Structure formats: structure tokens, C-alpha cells
Amino acid sequence: MTLRAIRRPSARGLVIAACAALALVLRAYQLTRPGYLLGVTEYDDGVLFGNALRLVSGVIPYRDFSVVQPPGSILLMAPTALLAKVIGTAWGLAVARVLTVCADTADVVLLGVLVRHRGALTAGVACGLYAVYPDAITAAHTFMLEPWLNVCCLLGAVAIFDGNRLAGTAPRQPPGARRAPRPADTARVAWGGAAFGFAVAVKIWALVPLAIAGLLLTLTARRVRPTAALAGGAALGLGVPLLPFAVLAPGAMARGVLVGQVVRNASGSRHLLSRLADLAGLQLLPARLPQAMTLLVIAAAAAGCYAAAYLAAGRPFQSLDAYAFLGAVTVTGMFLWPRLYYSHYGAFDGPFLALAIALPIGLLTARLADLARLRAAAAAVLAIVVMTAMVLQFQAESRLYGTQVAAAADRLIPAGACVVTNDSAYTVAADRFYSDVRGCPVLVDSFGTLFAVTDGRSNAAPPAILRPVVQLWQTALERARYVWLTSDTTAQIPWTRQLYGYFTDHFRLIGFAWSHWSKRHVPRPGLYIREG
């Protein structure tokens, strides 16, 4: 290779770099909005980062406090949590937010690496669609699991795929020819399995792409070794982060992660049309557009593109095509089934949707290689779509506004005080998460605690089931100097008459109060101080 060829970047590299830059700008812009870097924008990030803060302070997840996610995210953020002990929890969370932006930008690059052998247009469609995908941008605005989950799954996919086929599966050979197995292929599959396994340790959704990869390997490999390597790598990638916590608190981990997740996803209500519209990214379009008709047009266009691409190619799906298609169908169906759904969930579907759209488009245009004008027109249409989505996304982000509490909290709560809250995001953002008081409660996730302690029940459960939760909160209130209730707590705290009576007898409202409140036997949201 000449020096001139080395210095000149390929069209595919330029496309991937441009899409990554666009993704970085869109995601970083969110953090410039008021309160989005150092304020409160979510419930989950306070819990997820708070779990890591507890771990680096010597408090063991699952054993000493309830956690409803696998420990992968705790380990990912442990270095940042250690840094937060020096720079403060608010700035620690800000660093975690910046790292999450970088992780989701890396997802764009990994998508490009996965499909770069299909040409610049395919890479541009895959990377460009994910760069502007609204649910991915929503998930990347703070420390959420989906961007990190996608990094692990895409690393696994990049490792196990060798172009269109899976590593360790021999390409078609002439009759009588034999291809010697390559140890490097088995190693790649094992490393890919390890990445998928750690993804499961971040969030159990990663079992879906891992299962699809295992199925494809089983169907296409001519020997058992590749599938065994994938399974072995996955077991190692999942087992290493899980083992310490499973040894210390096996029952609590099972209850928190498995029971809590299953039952939590059984609450809420299904609105399939709006959920499909969210997954399709239609929230950027004007609200007056009919969602059902728009979704039908998109579905018909996708089906037509698939039929034209693969019928024109005259061959069935290759392994990469099958992985993208099965992943998009399975993950989308997975999100339509549970009652509970949030927009950031859709970020996990984003890479599969981008691949499922990009691969047939790239294949179709490749069949028209001689029609340069048509290929140029397709690239122009892609650029227009991506740039339009970028403008709409910028307009949506310009209206974002987070809650800033640090200044008022500095005035109302002394540093090192014992604060109990139903939403750890507030104490993390106010740099009041840690306490110098011996015996201060280490509660992090009020929702997760309810699910874990009651084996997935809600506040509608019988009193006998809720008694341990009531006792936990009774003990927490008895030890607290401050109580910070940030919202309606009826879904988090079982306010019995005795618990409510103790609260009203011992705590006085001093700030952050909601102006209108009419519920009986439930405290008004606000900051309270113990009297006497």
C-alpha cells in the first residue's frame, strides 16, 4: 500500500466520521441546556449512579440495599464514582453524562464498522439513522443503560461477524474442497460472546441478540466449536461481574433483578400505536400527521424495499441480514408486549432498526452499480432525511429544561447531613448523597426497594406483604435528620396511618414545597427537617 493511499481516507471512513460527528453534536447539545449537566432530569440516573456511589463507599449492592438491575452498570461507573468522592457527586454525575454521550457516539462508529464492507451508502444509512434516532438521543442525555448496552452488543456483533457471515462458519466452497478451521475465528467468537455476556450484566435485554447470534451460529456452522466458543465467552462475560455479588447475596440479587424486572414491566398500560410511533421516531414530525397512516406507509415502503432488494439479489438472507432482521422484529415485539414503556427503551431497538433499513437499501443500490446517477440520488435523499431530522431534533432539544437544586440545597441542608429521599437524583445533583452521620440509611431506589422487598408487589398489596417496607421506611425516618420528598410518593412508600403520623409528628416543612396538594395521609412533596 502506498503512502498516498494510507493518507487518503476512504469514502466509507468519511461517511462514518461525519455521522459520528453529527451524533456527538446532537447529544452534547442536550448537556448545554439549563440543568442538563448539573441538574435533575431523570429518576433512573440518580439510582444507577447512586448504586456505584454506594459500592465505592463499601456498601454492598443487593446485600445492604436493594438493586433491580444486574451489576454491570455499577462496575462501569465505579471509576467515575471514585472520582466523585473527590470532585463531588454532582460533578461525578456530570462526568457520567459526558461519558454516556461518548458511548452513544461510539455506537454510531461501531454500526459503521459492522456494515462498512457493504459500501459507503449502507454505512451512511445505518450510521445516519442512528445518529438522529430520537430515542437514542433521549437515552444519551444522562447516565442511562441503553447506550452502554448498545456498545457491548455492537462490540459483540463486530467481533462475531466477518463481513456478511459469522466468524467460524466456512463460506461456500467448490465441491470436494475443504477449508481448515482457523483458531482466530474461534477466538473472535469467544470475545464476541464475552461482550454479549457483559451486556447481559448491564441489562438482561441483551439475552435477545445473544440468543439470535447463537441461533445463527448453530444453523450455519458446520461444527460445534463456534457455538461453544460463543456460549463460553458469554458465560465468562456474564459470570465475572455477577459472581462476587451472587456469592454475597444470591437470594437478594435474584429477587431484585428477576422478580423486580418482571413485575415492574407488568404495570402501566399498552398504547401500541403510540409506542410504535415512538419506536419509528415519529415524535419529531408534526402532531397533526395521522400516526396510523404514517406507520402503514413506512411499513409498506420497508416491505417493498426488502422484497426488491433480496429478490433482485437472487439469494436468501446472509447471516448479517438475518441478524439485523430478526433483531429488529424481536426487539420491537419485546417492547410492544409489556405494559411499562419509556422512550429511552427504544434506544436498544435503534441499532437493529438502522441495520434492518440500511442493509436492503445498500443491497438494492449495489445491484444498480452502473446507474451512478441513481446512487447519487439515493445518497442525496439520505442526506436530506438526516439533515431534516437533525434540524427537528435541535428544535426539540432547544426546549429542554432540567431542575436545578444545588444552590437552594446548599442553603437548606448542611454538608454531611443525613438525608432520606424518594429520588436519589436530587441528593446526587445537590451533592448531599453522602452523610457523615453513622447509621444513616443507604436507601437508593425507592421503587426498586418496594419491588425487591415485596417480591414484586405494589402498594396495593395486603398489609402483611407491605409490612417489611413500612418497617424499612419507619427505620429510615427515625434515623434521618432531613427528608426530601420530590414527588407524589404513594407509589413508592406505603403510608400507613402510623407511618404518616410519625412523619407529621417529627418533621417540619422547610423548602421545595409543592404549592397544591390535596391527598390525605400522604405528605406534601418538599424538604423536611426533624424537629427537636
Which has more pLDDT, 468 or 302? 468
pLDDT value at residue 374 = 67
Q: Evaluate if residue 166 carries a pLDDT over 80.
A: yes
Q: What is the pLDDT of residues 214-228, one digit of tens each?
A: 999 999 887 888 999
3-state per-residue secondary structure call for 183-200: HHHHHHHHHHHHHHHHHH
Concatenating the DSSP letter of every residue in 423-475 gives -HHHHHHTT-S---STT------HHHHHHHHTTS--TTS-HHHHHHHHHHHHH
Using 50, 70 and 90 to split pLDDT, how confident is the model at 307?
confident
User: How far apart, in whole angstroms, are the C-alpha atoms of residue 198 and residue 70?
Assistant: 10
pLDDT confidence of residue 363: 82
Model confidence band, residue 273 (pLDDT cutoffs 50, 70, 90)? confident
Residue 148 corresponds to which cell in the numbers above?
A: 452502554
Q: What one-letter code names the amino acid at 349?
A: D
Calculate mean pLDDT across residues 360-389. Answer: 77
Question: What pLDDT does 452 receive?
Answer: 84
Q: And the C-alpha cell for 56? A: 465505592
pLDDT at 5: 47
Q: Quote the pLDDT of residue 518.
A: 86
Instruction: Please tell me the predicted confidence (pLDDT) of residue 459.
Output: 73
Better-scored residue on pLDDT, 163 or 310: 163
- For residue 21, the model assigns a pLDDT of 97
Q: Tell me: the pLDDT tens digits for 184-211? A: 788 999 999 999 999 999 999 999 999 9
Q: Which residues are registered as beta bridge partners of 161? A: 166
User: In the numeric block, which cell numbers belong to residue 525?
Assistant: 412533596
pLDDT digits (tens, 9 = 90+) for 26-58: 999 999 999 999 999 999 999 999 999 999 999
Pairing of strands 165-166, 161-162: antiparallel
Question: pLDDT tens across 138-165, in order?
Answer: 999 999 999 999 999 999 999 999 999 9
Tens digits of residue pLDDT in 236-270: 999 999 999 999 999 889 888 887 666 655 555 66
Give the helix/strand (H/E) hosting 419. Answer: strand 419-421
- Nearest one of 486, 489, 495 to 427, comparing CA atoms: 486
Sheet with 419-421, strands from edge to edge, namely: 419-421, 482-485, 526-530, 507-511
Distance in angstroms (rounded) separating the CA atoms of residues 351 and 328: 8
Who contacts 416 (Cβ-Cβ below 8 Å, separation ≥6)? 434, 435, 436, 437
pTM listed for this prediction: 0.92
Domain extent listing, the chain: 9-170+182-397, 406-530
Top-confidence residue, 378 or 382: 382
Q: What pLDDT score does 291 carry?
A: 76
- For the stretch 73-97, pLDDT in tens is 999 999 999 999 999 999 999 999 9
The H-assigned helical ranges of 32-144 are 44-56, 72-87, 89-115, 120-131, 134-139
Give me the pLDDT at residue 1, please: 41
Q: What is the mean pLDDT of the chain?
A: 89
How far is residue 292's CA from residue 289's CA, in Å, rounded to a whole number? 9
pLDDT digits (tens, 9 = 90+) for 424-481: 999 999 999 999 999 999 999 999 898 888 877 777 778 888 999 999 999 999 999 9
Euclidean distance between CA atoms 196 and 211, whole angstroms: 10
Q: What are residue 421's DSSP bridge partners?
A: 484
CA-CA distances (angstroms) from residue 456 to 145, 204, 261, 266? 21, 17, 8, 10
The mean per-residue pLDDT over the stretch 507-511 comes to: 96
| Selection from 311, 367, 317 nearest residue 122 by Cα | 367
Q: Is 80 exceeded by the pLDDT of residue 378?
A: no
Neighbours of 520 (CB within 10 A): 6
114-137 pLDDT, tens digit per residue, is: 999 998 999 999 999 999 999 999
Beta bridge pairs of residue 530: 507
Q: Is the pLDDT of residue 4 over 60?
A: no
Residue 510 has pLDDT above 80, yes or no: yes
Yes or no: say if 33 and 397 are a contact pair by the CB < 8 Å rule: yes
For residue 372, how many other CB atoms are within 10 A of its CB? 9
Q: Side chain identity at 31, as an amino acid letter?
A: L
Q: Please give the Cα distance from 77 to 67 (Å, whole number).
A: 15
User: In the beta sheet, which residues pair with residue 484?
Assistant: 421, 527
Integer-rounded Cα radius of gyration of the chain: 25
